[in-house]
Structure 1
Amino acid sequence: MSSAFCRDPLFLHVFGDSELDLQARIYVTAFVSFMFDKSFLLHEEVWGLFENEDLQGAYVVENPHANKLQSIRGGLLLIGRLLPLCFRMPRQTLHLLNSYMRLTRSFAPKLPHHYLIMIGVQPGHQGKGVGKALLNHLLHTVNKDPNSQGVALDTENKENVTMYQKFGFVLNNETRLDDLPIYCMFYPSRMEK
């Protein structure tokens, strides 16, 4: 899945150009792998679309009603995955990722909601409706969940803002990390019966 993020503005800002720089590619692969491991350990939702056994795209989303005991157990196991990542990446990179997370989470609504951590489509499948199918699945899930009042996300790509607005997301804040623009958005749940 790391190739799905090679042109992502955040990944370019934090890791460098993974299409041109082997070290940046190693960092991106390690980070994406860590994010998926984290999601499984913390019982976050990971959902993907496959064609035969080829992963076309996937998303990772935090649920608003995580089981506390599972989260604690997963958090302890996560330390075992986090330590190697800390030794593989420069301190500056880890600092940027941490700053980004703190900043974007500060703009998320205080009400119970899902948080779209990442959504990506493999380059060979882009423009074929995979991203739309992923997003529709997520919104359907959120709209059926009585414990969620919507889904928050952030994007650094200005073009994505218009696309997300077509799905019902509202731009609730624009901010920056260094020279990187960040657009924080929220989709209010529409409870389905």
Structure 2
Amino acid sequence: MSDDTDNQNNSEEPVIVRLDETARNEAQSILYHAYRGEPTFQYLFDHRKPGYDQRVRATVRELIDLYFEHNHDAVGVMVDNSLVAVAFIGEPEVRMNLTEQLSWRIRMVLTTGFASTRRYMDYHEQIRHLLPQPQAHQLPLMGVNPKYQNRGYGRLLLKAIERVCADNPRGSGIVLDTGNSRYLPFYESEGFRSLGQIRLGDFEDHVLFRETAAVNEARASEPG
């Protein structure tokens, strides 16, 4: 991991870091605990059947491997030398098509089963169809350690993501999704708007979009 800030004197202050593969295990643990109780994962990987926790762990692991393999950006928040929040940022030029990732699909089938892999791929394709034009950054994996939630680290993580995305002028904004409606007010307060919903069983997964500050500034500078 590498620091994105200059002042490291107070280890209790949250620090934004860029993640590399040395953070893999910590990132996996955070995302596993962040997603295992989420309605979207419970539906896609059928929490009613034995082995649900293993399927969630395997999916998080395989997705992290895939995004590191494609050299996508990843950022995190550290507090007192502990990683407490992470996000993987999909590049706008690379609209990850999981149907083209043969080795990934094989690993997923072997670890989560055919049905779960198929459901996840179908869900991913529905999100792809809702993505805006021009292309946007995507947040396929983002979470805060449940022990550190409600302390402002999610908002801090989003600001770090914004800075990374603003450095890439080819991206129009940021896309994320959530099946947990209690998160919607938070995302709306951060300027996200709905691109649409995906029906998953008896609930809807919300796909949200926000333009980056760089895009907003460019529009504001255009002659009226």
TM-score range, shorter chain: 0.7 to 0.9
| Residue correspondence of structure 1 range 50-61 to structure 2 within 5 A | 50-61=78-89
- Summarize deviations over 1:118-171 as a string: whole Å, max 9, x none: 211111111111111111111222233211111111111112222111111111
- For the residue of structure 2 that corresponds to 1:172, the secondary structure is strand
The match for 2:7 is none
Change in 2 beyond 3 A, CA 1:172/1:84: closer
From 177, 182, 190, the counterpart of 2:213: 190
Does the alignment pair 1:126 with 2:149?
A: yes
Q: Distance in 1 between matches of 2:89 and 2:114?
A: 26
2:130 — aligned with what? 107
Q: Identity percentage over the alignment?
A: 21
CA RMSD of aligned residues (A): 2.6
**Kept after mapping to 2: 8 A contact 1:27/1:89:** yes
Measured in 1, the distance between the counterparts of 2:197 and 2:111 equals: 32
Q: Give the Cα–Cα distance (whole angstroms) in 1 for the partners of residues 66 and 146 of structure 2.
A: 24
Aligned amino acid, residue 175 of structure 1: I
Residues 1:80 and 1:106: Cα distance change in structure 2 (over 3 Å): closer
1:30 partner letter = A
More displaced stretch, 79-88 vs 31-40: 79-88
- Counterpart amino acid of residue 168 in structure 2: D
Count of residue pairs the alignment pairs up: 184
Question: Normalising by structure 1, what TM-score?
Answer: 0.84
Q: Which runs of 5+ in 1 are unaligned?
A: none
Secondary structure of the residue aligned to 1:136 is helix
Residue 98 of structure 1: how far off its partner (Å): 0.8
Whole-Å Cα distance in 2 between the matches of residues 84 and 145 of structure 1? 32
Structure 1 residues 63 and 87 mapped into 2: Cα distance closer, same or farther (>3 Å)? Answer: same
Larger CA deviation: 20-29 vs 95-104? 20-29
Segment drifting more, 174-183 vs 129-138 = 174-183
Q: Which runs of 5+ in 2 are unaligned?
A: 1-29, 219-224
1:151 aligned residue = 174
Partner residue of 1:84? 107
Residue 61 of structure 2 corresponds to which residue in structure 1?
33
Whether 2:39 is the aligned partner of 1:9: answer yes
Change (3 A) 1:122 1:172: same
Q: Is residue 171 from structure 1 mapped to residue 201 from structure 2 by the alignment? A: no
Alpha-carbon contact 1:34-1:82 (below 8 Å) kept: no
**Which of structures 1 and 2 has the bigger CA Rg?**
2
Contact 1:161–1:171, Cα closer than 8 Å, also in 2: no
d(CA) in 2 for partners of 1:184, 1:81: 24
SS in 1 for 2:213: coil
